[in-house]
């Protein structure tokens, strides 16, 4: 192992006590999560049921949701395959649990931290026939150890922003990455494919974005209908996946507009719209509640009750219900795009039939936003005040809002199909690994074409 990798491992060792303490502090009230610390060191427990294992890594909530259509397709095509899905964040783990807890063939765990010994322990314990890494979660020892242990990796739904590309180019001298550990890459767009090739990856195909293939679970739609029955005909605007600094700006804009709506005699509805705020990170729920109180707005929390008619704000302090909030809303304002966070996924609102408004900072979804704006399915404005004013216009002009919703349905339909294209990309490698297993066991081998 090169000197640079020895230094890299030593830094992980030095960070270990702090990582352990951080894990305990974040999860001391959640024993079920706290007990998973050993998974961070590569310990993984899989049932001894004779199944081959396919490893899928989805770092957090967005990647987990993106993986869901692919997971469903893999379960249909390869019912005997066990899927080991790993995550880096508690929210990713919880999202996956809500999606797949009913399926015993899907096992979830935390991914190991990137020390060579911990990664090697994980690969030896899981013995995956193939590893699928979602989007851009790339760690040096994951590549290095997978290559040494003969575990082929596929980078699926891959995206690489121009900013991330420049960062990789700038710091590649620090720790050279063994890109050839990826035997196949499925890129979201031609621009992503071009940047990935420039980094040194090969065998790249443009498969599209798996997030276009997502559809809300029936349970989320049913929950939204329950909320709607309780709220009544009052319009609802949701600020979804909001980040630090964004809620305060929207609350200031909302205060003025709320007063204007309350004083207007020509307003279409008996009551001003309800603002629903859904912070992206659960550790900020209390902080946002205090912020709403400081603004003098009447509010309730999802964890306590449904909103009352006199409430101004409903705080969505729940996990795994984002699609229900989108399905409830008349207009969705996408968080993470009003400060320099890079934006969140507007396709989730479109899939729920709700027109989305995004801010100026959408680098993480630049292609999606550009295409959606061109298709008049997504609106992009400069600041929260403009977002609130546009939401008001769509509420007061239902024909315009309906046109945006129709454009969104057309836009989604035109870009679907990434799941099937990704599955076809994986099939030669999955069949190759299955044939290798059969050869090792002395069983029959089914001829399959080589991956193109």
Catalytic residue numbers, as ranges: 63
Report how far apart, in Å, the C-alpha atoms of 278 and of each of 189, 220, 243 are: 30, 15, 9
- Cβ pair 154, 67 in contact under 8 A: no
Classify residue 203 by its DSSP letter: S
- Measured CA to CA, the distance from residue 182 to residue 180 in angstroms comes to 5
Classify residue 225 by its DSSP letter: H
Residue 290: is it exposed, middle or buried by C-beta count within 10 angstroms (0-12/13-18/19+)?
exposed
SS3 274: strand
Sign of the alpha-carbon dihedral angle for 296, 299, 301, 302: negative
- Residues 146-165: b if buried by 16+ CB within 10 A, e if exposed: bbbeebbbbbbbbbbbeebb
Question: Distance between terminal CA atoms of the chain?
Answer: 32
CB contact set of 290 (below 8 Å; sequence gap of 6+):
none
- Measured CA to CA, the distance from residue 19 to residue 13 in angstroms comes to 10
Cα 244 off chain centre by: 18
Question: Tokens at residue 19, please?
Answer: 């990582």
- Measured CA to CA, the distance from residue 191 to residue 60 in angstroms comes to 24
**Which residue, 352, 361, 353, 407, is CA-closest to 384?**
361
CB contact set of 304 (below 8 Å; sequence gap of 6+):
none
State the angle between helix axes of 398-415 and 384-396 in degrees (0 to 180), rounded to the nearest 10.
110
């Amino acid at each position: 192992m090169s000197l640079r990798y020895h230094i890299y491992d030593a830094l992980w060792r030095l960070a270990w006590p702090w990582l352990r303490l951080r894990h305990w502090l974040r999860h001391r009230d959640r024993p079920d999560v706290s007990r998973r610390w050993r998974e961070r060191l590569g310990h993984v427990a899989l049932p001894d049921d004779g199944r081959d294992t396919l490893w899928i890594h989805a770092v957090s909530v967005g990647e987990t949701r993106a993986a869901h259509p692919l997971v469903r397709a893999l379960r249909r095509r390869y019912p005997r395959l066990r899927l080991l899905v790993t995550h880096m964040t508690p929210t990713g783990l919880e999202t996956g649990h809500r999606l797949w807890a009913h399926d015993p063939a899907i096992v979830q765990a935390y991914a190991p931290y990137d020390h060579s010994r911990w990664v090697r322990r994980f690969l030896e314990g899981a013995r995956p026939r193939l590893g699928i890494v979602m989007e851009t979660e790339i760690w040096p020892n994951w590549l290095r150890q997978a290559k040494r242990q003969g575990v082929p990796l596929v980078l699926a739904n891959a995206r690489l922003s121009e900013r991330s590309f420049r960062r990789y180019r700038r710091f590649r001298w620090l720790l050279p990455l063994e890109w050839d550990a990826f035997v196949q890459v499925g890129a979201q767009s031609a621009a992503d494919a071009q940047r990935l090739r420039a980094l040194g990856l090969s065998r790249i195909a443009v498969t599209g974005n798996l997030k276009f293939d997502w559809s809300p679970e029936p349970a989320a739609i049913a929950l939204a209908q329950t909320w709607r029955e309780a709220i009544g005909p009052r319009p609802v605007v949701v600020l979804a996946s909001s980040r630090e600094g964004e809620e305060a700006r929207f609350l200031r804009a909302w205060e003025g507009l709320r007063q204007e709506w309350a004083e207007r005699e020509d307003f279409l509805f008996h009551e001003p719209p309800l603002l629903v705020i859904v912070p992206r990170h659960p550790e900020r729920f209390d902080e946002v509640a205090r912020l709403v109180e400081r603004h003098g707005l009447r509010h309730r929390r999802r964890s306590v009750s449904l909103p009352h008619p006199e409430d101004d704000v409903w705080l969505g302090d729940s996990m795994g219900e984002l699609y229900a909030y989108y399905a409830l809303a008349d207009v969705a304002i996408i968080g993470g795009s009003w400060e320099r966070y890079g934006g969140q996924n507007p396709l989730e609102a479109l899939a729920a039939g709700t027109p989305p408004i995004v801010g100026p900072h959408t680098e993480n979804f630049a292609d999606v936003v550009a295409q959606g704006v061109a298709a008049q399915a997504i609106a992009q404005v400069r600041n929260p005040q403009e977002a609130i004013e546009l939401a008001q216009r769509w509420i007061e002009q239902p024909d315009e809002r309906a046109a945006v919703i129709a454009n969104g349905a057309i836009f989604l339909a035109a870009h679907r199909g990434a799941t099937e294209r990704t599955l076809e990309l994986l099939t030669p490698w999955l069949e190759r690994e299955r044939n290798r297993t059969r050869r090792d066991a002395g069983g029959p081998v089914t001829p399959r074409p080589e991956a193109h």
